[in-house]
Structure formats: structure tokens, C-alpha cells
Amino acid sequence: MRLVVLTGAGISAESGVPTFRDAGGLWEGHRVEEVATPEAFERDPETVQRFYDARRRAVAQVDPNPAHDALARLERELGDNLLVVTQNIDDLHERAGSRHIVHMHGDLLMALCTACGRRSSVTAELIERPPCPQCGERMLRPDVVWFGEMPYDLDVIDEALLACDMFAAIGTSGAVYPAAGFVITAAAAGAHTIELNLTASEITPLFDEVRHGPASLVVPSWVDEVVTART
Ligand code: BV8
């Protein structure tokens, strides 16, 4: 059984990471979409750097929850037959033990140099304009995919969607594309599709099966079923 699992902000909510929909998606009075764009970074890099420095500090204070742990357990069962595709830029999946994972919208713990184009681990607050460890220029930006930018690894994701037998979406509102369209690609390739979310999302009608409730409860019980079904 080949499985693709798409996760969104909802899987990290019970760890204490605010979702985009929480608080109306506002940050210091900014609509998130206003600070997560290349135009915003061009216009006011300090505000954008402070936005991501604050999120990086916050994520370091929290831990994975039973939903992250359950997906790591599922990977131990399925190995390469499971691919986790996350829209999240936190590292909670990895801290729970997931290894077969794609961060399609980037990684909060990485920086991208706008001078030499190379990536590096963030070792200081980017608001302090630390030098790029490779070229020395002070032109680092967060290694995240902003609105209007191309998500990462779409070729790897597409290949997995076309080959999977089951597609699950966990903790995502289905408001952002191309991620919100993955269920259509998987369904068209014959996969069984399931939504695991606190409440109905913008794409609920597109799924074969829907389970609503907190991820920390619905994900472990779903993983138990998948593992039992295999044996
Ligand atoms: C692109 C990184 C060209 C930065 C992010 C088609 C139609 C309309 C618009 C578009 C379209 N195609 C492209 C667009 C434009 C745009 C877009 O989608 N705009 C939206 C606003 C309409 N998309 C883009 O710009 C993308 N790039 O299109 O490039 C292209 C063209 C063709 C093919 C390829 C490429 C790039 C988008 C990426 C932007 N970067 N993040 C950062 O994090 O700061 S997006 C960011 O917002 C997240 O990564 C995530 O993707 C999204 C938030 O969504 P969710 O994760 O789902 O979170 P949300 O808060 O919305 O919902 C949480 C859910 O969890 C809720 O349903 C809630 O009920 C549930 N929940 C809450 N608690 C729990 C829970 N569930 C379970 N348990 C709980 N405890």
C-alpha cells in the first residue's frame, strides 16, 4: 500500500503553533498574506524577518504531539511506501521521527542567500543580517515559499500522488493552492481519499471519507487501522 499524507497547520495546533486561521490569520495587525510575499520582503524586510524570527523562537518552545508521533510510527511500518508532504515550515514531524518528508513551503530552520542562491541552517536571528556562510554576503532570507512563489519538489509530489493507493489530508483548510488540489490528482489516479480535520474544510466534498476531530485523537486511531489492515 502506497500512501501520501498531506499535513497543514492544524496538525501542529495542539503543540501550540497557531494556525493561519487562528486569530483571523493576523500577525501584529498584518494579514499573513501581507508578510508572506516577496513584495512585502522587498518593501519592508525588517518586518518580514521579525515575523519569521518570532515564529522560529516559538517553534523551539513546543514539542510534537500524538498526531506527529503516529505518522512517524506509520513510517516505521510502511517505510518508503509513505510520503509525508507538509505545508508546515516547523520541524515537528522530524522531531517526532519522520524522515520521508517533503516541506513543499520551505523550512523555518533554513535560510536562503539571495546573493549566491545557496541554503544554510539559521544560526542567528535574520533581523541581525548575519553573513551567508558560503559567500559572506548579508543577504539571507527565510527559506520559505511565499505567496506567488513556486512550491518545492512539485515533481516528487506529483509522482507520489499518481502512484498512491491512499491519500490523506490532515489539519488543512484547503485554502491554498496547489496543495489544495492534490486530492483531485490522487483521486483521479484511483486512490482512496480521506480528510482528517477538526472541522469541515473548503475541500471536504472532494474526499471519499471524512473524519472530524482533533488531530491528536483522529490521527493515531486512523494509523492503528491502517497498520492493522496491513497485517
Ligand atoms: C504558486 C509558507 C505558482 C510561508 C505558505 C489557484 C486558485 C487560487 C489561488 C491560487 C491558485 N494557484 C495559486 C494561487 C495563489 C496562491 C494561493 O493559493 N492563494 C490563496 C490564498 C487563495 N498560491 C501560491 O501563491 C502558491 N504558489 O501558486 O506558485 C504555481 C502555479 C501553478 C503550479 C504551481 C505553482 C504558494 C503558496 C505557498 C505560500 N506559503 N506558507 C509561511 O508559512 O509563512 S502557505 C501557508 O498557508 C501554509 O503553508 C499553508 O499552505 C497555508 C495555510 O493553510 P493550512 O495549513 O491549511 O492552515 P489553516 O490555518 O488555513 O487551516 C488549518 C486547518 O486545520 C483548519 O481547517 C482547521 O479546522 C484545522 N485544525 C485546527 N486545529 C486542528 C485542526 N485540525 C485537526 N486538529 C486540530 N487540533
pLDDT in tens, the chain (231 residues): 899 999 999 999 999 998 887 656 655 566 777 789 999 999 999 999 999 999 999 999 999 999 999 999 999 999 999 999 999 999 999 999 999 999 999 999 999 999 999 999 999 999 999 999 999 999 999 999 999 999 999 999 999 999 999 999 999 999 999 999 999 999 999 999 999 999 999 999 999 999 999 999 999 999 999 999 987
Helix (H, G, I), strand (E, B) or coil at 206: helix
- pTM value is 0.96
Does 192 participate in catalysis according to the annotation? no
Question: According to the model, what pLDDT value does residue 25 have?
Answer: 62
Minimal CA–CA distance to 211: which of 181, 165, 168? 168
Q: What are the DSSP calls for 80-129, one per residue?
A: GGEEEEE---SSHHHHHT--SEEETTEEEEEEEETTT--EEE--S-GGG-
Q: How long, in residues, is the chain?
A: 231
C-alpha 71 to ligand 1 mean position (Å): 21
Query: Which of 176, 183, 203 has the most ligand 1 atoms within 8 A of CB, as the residue to mutate?
Result: 176
Q: What is the DSSP letter of 124?
A: S
Q: Which among 103, 105, 192, 212 is annotated as catalytic?
A: 105
Give the pLDDT score at 15.
98
pLDDT at 1: 87
- Residue 48 makes CB contacts below 8 A (sequence gap 6+) with 35, 36, 40, 41, 141, 142
Q: Nearest C-alpha to atom 36 of ligand 1 is from which residue?
A: 147
CA–CA gap between residue 165 and residue 211 (Å, rounded):
19
Ligand 1 environment, Cβ below 6 A: 8-10, 13-14, 19-21, 33, 36, 87, 89, 105-106, 144-151, 154, 171-173, 175-179, 197-199, 201, 214-215
